[in-house]
Structure 1
Amino acid sequence: MPYVTCVDYTVSNKKFDLMYNSNFFMLETTPKPPVEELGYYYESSDYISHTDAKKTIIDKIYQVVKKYTLNKKLQLINSFQTESKNILDVGCGTGDFLEICNSNNWNVVGVEPNESARKLAIKKLNASSKIYKDIFELEHEQFDVITLWHVLEHVPDLNAYILQLKKLLKPKGVLIVAVPNYKSYDALYYKQFWAAFDVPRHLWHFSQKSIQLLFSKEKLEVVKTLPMKFDSFYVSLLSEKYKTGKSNFLKAFYIGFMSNLKAMRSKEYSSLIYALKRG
C-alpha cells in the first residue's frame, strides 16, 4: 500500500505512488523515471529554481523571499570556523547563492545539471568561477563547506551521491543539506496535494531520522538542525492551487502559520536545514 498517491502537476499529470521505506524512515517515489528521462520532468517554465521568473504573484513572492533567505544562508556558512573559504554549491540553479558568496570573499564552485540555469549562473559570476554539470566531474578538489539547498531529494543514486559528498568534504568541513520534511503539519494537512512532494522530480522524501541514518553510514553526523520557516507559506500557496485550483492566499497563510506554530513544539518544520560533520 502506498503512503499516498500524488500527481505531477508541473509537467506530465502522471500519477506516482510514495512507498514507505521502513529501513530509513523515508518515502520513495514509485515508479522512478529512468535517469535518461528525468530531464523531461524539469522542462517547464513553472520550475522556478531554473529561472529568474517574476511572471506570477507566486513567482514574485518567491523572488522576494529568496533575497532574504540568501543573506540568512550566508550568515549560516559564515558561522562555521573553516580552514579556508572554499565552497561548493550543489544544484546551484541560476547562481544567486554563489553570487552572494563570491561577493563576500568565498571561493565558489557550483554544480548544476540544467543547461539553461547553468548559463544564467555563469553570467552572474566572475570568469574564474567554475560551474560543473555533475558532481562526479569533481575528483581531486576538497571544500570547507558544501551546500545542497533542496537538492538531495532529486538525486537518483543516494548512496553514491553521499559517498561523493564525503570525498569532496575536507576533514573538518561542513556539509549543509536542506530538504522538505514530510512529517510537517502542512504535509500532513495537504496529503497528496502537498507541493513539496513534487513527484517525480523529488525521488525521495525525508524525515529527520532519514537524514541521520543515511549520513551516519558514511560517518557524517548531524550537529545542527535549523528550520526554513518561509517554506511552509510558499509550499502551502502551491498546495492550495493544486488542491482547489486557486491560490487562496489567506487559507495558505493560515496553514503555513499553523505549521510553524506546531513545529515550535514538535520541531517538524516544513523544510529543515541539517549541518553535518564527520563523526
Structure 2
Amino acid sequence: MVTVPVRSGALEWIHVDCPLCGADDAEPVYERDHETGSTLGRLRKIDVLCRRCGFMYTDPRPSAADMRRYYAEASGASGSVFHAMEPGSRLRGLIEERAAFMQPLVASHFGSGPGAILDIGCATGDLLEHLDLPEWHKAGLEPSARASATARTRGLEVECGDLESTSLPDRSFDVITCISVLEHVHDLRASVGRIRQSLRPGGLAFVEVPDSTRPVAQIAEFFSFEHLSHFTRGTLVRCLAEAGLEAIAFDEQVGLPNLRVCARRSEQIPAKAAFGTDDAEALRRAIARYRRQREAFAETLTRRLNDRVDRWATRDARVAVYGAGMHTRFLMEVVDLGRSVTCLLDSDPRKAGSSFLGWRVFGPDDIPRLGLDAILISTNAFEEEVYSAIAPTARAHAIEVVRCYG
C-alpha cells in the first residue's frame, strides 16, 4: 500500500492506494462531514471505490498518528451504550450468536482437547468468558485500558494494545477472533497477515466486519469516520485469501448487518487472486438507497424532536442524553440539544465518570440524584432495552423519557 502524506492545518492527510489490490484507480462514491471532537475538529470523509477490484475504502485519510489522537479523546464513542449481559439482553444475544457459530466449528476442527484462543478487540472479555472451552488457554488484546483492566478482574489474560502496534507471538494460537477490528486498521494487508502468522498451522480465524451492501439508515453514520475499509462478502474473502486464510464457513444467521466468517490458515499463500468488479454495482446501489433512506429519516426525526427541544429550552429543563457514543455525536448535528443538555447517561462501565462532547457521563444508577426533567434515548440498537431499564426510575421521579425511534 502506497501512502503519500499531505499536511493540512493540524492534520496529516494520507493518500493510499487500494488496500486490497494495490491499484491507484478509484472514484469517490460517498462523502460526508463528520464532527470528530476537539482534537481533529470537523472533517469531510471521502470513501472511494477501486475501479479494479471493487473494494471501498477511505482516501485520503488522517494519518495513523492523528487517528490515535482522535481515539485517545473519543474513547467513549465506541462500544455499546447499554452494557447488560443478563439473559435476554441484546448484548448477551450477540455473544450467544457468535458462540453458536464458533463452537461447532472449533469442536469439529480440534476435538475436545486443549487449545489456545486469542480475542483481538476483546473489550471486557464477554465472548472469551462465554465460550465453552474448559481446557483452553484464553487470551485477549484490547486497546482500552479501562476495558482490559475489567477483563483481567474476571481472571482473563488480556493485554492492553491493538492489532497494528502490539507484538503477537508466531504460531501460538489455535483460534483467533477479530470482531469489529479490520474496518479500523490503517494497514489492512499487514494486519490480516499478522493474524495468520499468529495462528498455528491449520488454525482458525473468526472475523466479523460490517457488510457494506446492507447499510442501515439511522442517525449514526453507517460509514463511520472510524471505518477506513468497507467490506462486501467477496472483498472480505479475497482479503483473507491474499494473506493465506481460506474462508470455509459464513454465518448465515447474523442478527446485525455484518459479515461473519470462519477462515482456516493455509500453508500456501496463493498468488494474487484474479480481481473482478462484481461488488461495485451492488455497492453503488446500496449507497444510493442508504443515502435516500437516511436523509428521509433525519428529516422526520428533526421535525419530531424540534418541538420538544424548544419546549425544554423555554422552561429551562434539565435534560440528559442516554448514549455516550457516535449516535449522539450525529444527533447533535441535526438537533440543537446544547441548550438543555446537562449530562450524558451510559451503562457501559468503561465510560462512567468520563467526559464526552464536553458533558460528564453518569451511570443509570445516578438518575435519581441528577434532578432531571427529561431523558432522550440516543441509540438505535439498544433503544428498547434502555427504555425498559430506566422507565420505572423515570416514572418514580416524574422524568419524561423520549425515544428517537420508538
TM-score (norm 1): 0.70
- Aligned partner of 1:164 in structure 2 is 194
- Aligned partner of 1:95 in structure 2 is 125
Aligned partner of 2:175 among 107, 131, 145: 145
More helix by share: 1
Shift of 1:88: 0.8
Shift of 1:116: 2.7
How many residues align? The count is: 236
- Aligned partner of 2:32 in structure 1 is 6
Q: What does the per-residue CA deviation read over 1:22-60, in whole Å, with 9 as the maximum and x for residues that have no partner?
A: 3442211132221122123333365242xx754xxxx77
Distance, in Å, in 2 between the alignment partners of 1:134 and 1:184 is 27
Distance, in Å, in 2 between the alignment partners of 1:27 and 1:86 is 34
Q: Helix, strand or coil: the match of 2:101?
A: helix
Q: Helix, strand or coil: the match of 1:196?
A: coil
- Aligned partner of 1:208 in structure 2 is 233
- Aligned partner of 1:262 in structure 2 is none
Aligned partner of 2:150 among 117, 120, 136: 120
- Aligned partner of 1:131 in structure 2 is 159
The answer as to whether partners of 1:143 and 1:173 remain within 8 angstroms in 2 is: yes
Change (3 A) 1:65 1:48: farther
Return 5+ residue gaps in structure 1 as ranges.
254-279
Change (3 A) 1:37 1:76: same
Change (3 A) 1:124 1:141: farther
- Aligned partner of 2:255 in structure 1 is 229
Q: Helix, strand or coil: the match of 2:131?
A: helix
The answer as to whether partners of 2:118 and 2:176 remain within 8 angstroms in 1 is: yes
Q: Which amino acid aligns with 2:224?
A: D
Aligned partner of 2:222 among 181, 190, 196: 196
Residue 174 (structure 1) aligned with residue 174 (structure 2)? no
The answer as to whether partners of 1:7 and 1:14 remain within 8 angstroms in 2 is: yes
Change (3 A) 1:213 1:225: same
Q: Which amino acid aligns with 1:111?
A: L
Higher relative contact order (CA closer than 8 Å, sequence separation 6+): 1
Shift of 1:202: 0.8
Q: Determine which structure has more spread, i.e. the larger CA radius of gyration.
A: 2
TM-score (norm 2): 0.50
Q: Helix, strand or coil: the match of 1:40?
A: helix
The answer as to whether partners of 1:10 and 1:46 remain within 8 angstroms in 2 is: no
Shift of 1:162: 1.3
Shift of 1:198: 1.1
Shift of 1:110: 1.0
- Aligned CA RMSD, in angstroms, stands at 3.5
Change (3 A) 1:60 1:121: closer
Return 5+ residue gaps in structure 2 as ranges.
1-26, 259-293, 298-325, 336-375, 385-406
Q: Helix, strand or coil: the match of 1:154?
A: coil
Shift of 1:120: 2.4
Q: Helix, strand or coil: the match of 1:8?
A: strand
- Aligned partner of 1:66 in structure 2 is 91
**Farther off after superposition, 67-76 or 174-183:** 67-76
